[in-house]
Amino acid sequence: GAVVSQHPSRVICKSGTSVKIECRSLDFQATTMFWYRQFPKQSLMLMATSNEGSKATYEQGVEKDKFLINHASLTLSTLTVTSAHPEDSSFYICSAPGGFTDTQYFGPGTRLTVL
Partner 1 sequence: AQSVSQHNHHVILSEAASLELGCNYSYGGTVNLFWYVQYPGQHLQLLLKYFSGDPLVKGIKGFEAEFIKSKFSFNLRKPSVQWSDTAEYFCALRTDSWGKLQFGAGTQVVVTP
Q: For binding to partner 1 (CB under 8 A), which residues are involved?
A: 4, 32, 34, 36, 41-46, 49, 93, 95, 97, 102-104, 106-109
The least CB distance from residue 16 to partner 1, in Å, is 30
- Taking the least distance from each CB to partner 1, the nearer of 4 and 84 is 4
Backbone angles phi, psi at 87, to 5 degrees: -70, -10
Contacts of 93 (CB under 8 A, 6+ apart): 6, 35, 36, 37, 38, 44, 106, 107, 108, 109, 110
Residue 88 to residue 47: CA distance in whole angstroms: 13
- Taking the least distance from each CB to partner 1, the nearer of 12 and 39 is 39
- Taking the least distance from each CB to partner 1, the nearer of 18 and 103 is 103
Residue 114 to residue 66: CA distance in whole angstroms: 14
The least CB distance from residue 3 to partner 1, in Å, is 10
The least CB distance from residue 93 to partner 1, in Å, is 7
